[in-house]
Amino acid sequence: MNILVASDKFKGSLTAAEACEAIRAGLASGFESRNEVPQIRTLPVADGGDGIAQTLTDALSGKWRTCIVHNALGEKTEAGYGLIDDGRVAVIEMAEASGLAQLGNRKKDPWSASAYGTGELIQNATEQGAEKVILGIGGSATIDGGSGMARALGWKFLDSDGNELTNIPATLPDTAAIIAPDNPNLPEVIVACDIENPLLGGEDCTRNYGPQKGVEVADFEKFEARIRHLINLLDGDAKSAATEPGSGAAGGLGFGARVFLDARLQSGFDLVADQTQLKEQIEWADVVITGEGRLDAQTDSGKAPAGVLRLCRELEKPAYAFCGSKETGAGSGFVEAMEIQDPELSLELNMARAAALLEVRALNFANGFSDTEHS
């Protein structure tokens, strides 16, 4: 029997690679006790959210590089990105530099929060010889339309007197012109994005994601006006780009990547699946096991386990899921979706012991596995 373990991260507890290894170890122990030796392969998976850079780097045996950049509040911080395909491809995650997680418990400042550090990561990767950048844009602390990233890559923001403005995006309303660099010398950029919200209109980035970045409801219109001003300063293509699905992702970084980097937006899960040849691995398997920290209503909206399940259905392979917890009704498409949490422990202890709990759950699954019952 061939088993593929293709798990996403258990957020706050385990990386995707760590989750895959815990499941593999539990399965191996369980089947060994039954004197069975299945072939088990592990393949970490991800969608376009935070974790994609480390997951792809681990899955493709790449190298992790760190450098000093500025976080969303302009403070110097260490951030990393992956280099795969012999360094020709950089896998960058904007959350490493411009994410909410980098700010800890500090007060959010959405007026000034900038994706400048993300631009610094792209610049560093370019200097290392990367010919292509895969950019994951989940977990952002910014709502600047990608303007901070653009400034880090040489775009100039000028006031009505021709003076350069450096406090972007706070001074976007005072910007009268945006000047592109003479020779940007940027690699091809593909944005991994599983959010379909546009930059403006209806389910836009300000109203949907602004509050988690510190935007007050009373300030929605002011932030939207700032974004409209940014669009009006750019060429005609910017207006159409602002309505594209995904342009509102990461506080408008999806839009910024399109207009400043000429980037292409792609489903994060599909991108990871292509890079790791996930479909071919599922074809090899008799049984597929995936997982993530929580299965809920968002799982079906582009999350990695849902993508694994979709491919399994196409290839008529049985799919199972492990999770820390699950919402009622979630995971109904799997043969079985199994929680690993110990109800007698607090959330903090469950998260701290996630690897052990996941290994034990996988061991119990192997002990009770039946080809007939689980087909």
CA distance 356 to 128: 39
Q: Residue 302: helix, strand or coil by DSSP?
A: coil
Q: What's the alpha-carbon Rg for the chain, to the nearest Å?
A: 22
- β 76-84/177-179 pair status: unpaired
φ and ψ at residue 23, rounded to 5 degrees: -65, -45
Per-residue pLDDT of the chain (375 residues; tens, 9 = 90+): 999 999 999 988 999 999 999 999 999 999 999 888 899 999 999 988 778 999 899 889 999 999 999 999 999 999 999 999 999 999 999 999 999 888 888 888 999 999 999 999 999 999 999 999 999 998 899 999 999 999 999 999 999 999 999 999 999 999 999 999 998 889 999 999 888 888 887 667 788 888 889 999 999 899 999 999 999 999 778 888 988 888 998 899 999 999 999 999 999 999 999 999 999 999 999 999 999 999 987 776 668 999 999 999 999 999 999 999 998 888 889 999 999 999 999 999 999 999 999 999 999 999 988 654 444
Q: Are 66 and 78 in contact (CB under 8 A)?
A: yes
**Quick check: bond before 305 cis, omega within 30?**
no
Q: Where are the alpha helices (DSSP H) in 11-50?
A: 16-33
Check residue 188 and report its DSSP letter. Answer: E
Name all domains of the chain by residue range, CATH numbers in brackets: 2-45+279-367 (3.40.50.10350), 52-266 (3.90.1510.10)
Query: Residue written as tokens 């004197």?
Result: 35
Chain center to CA of 244? 19
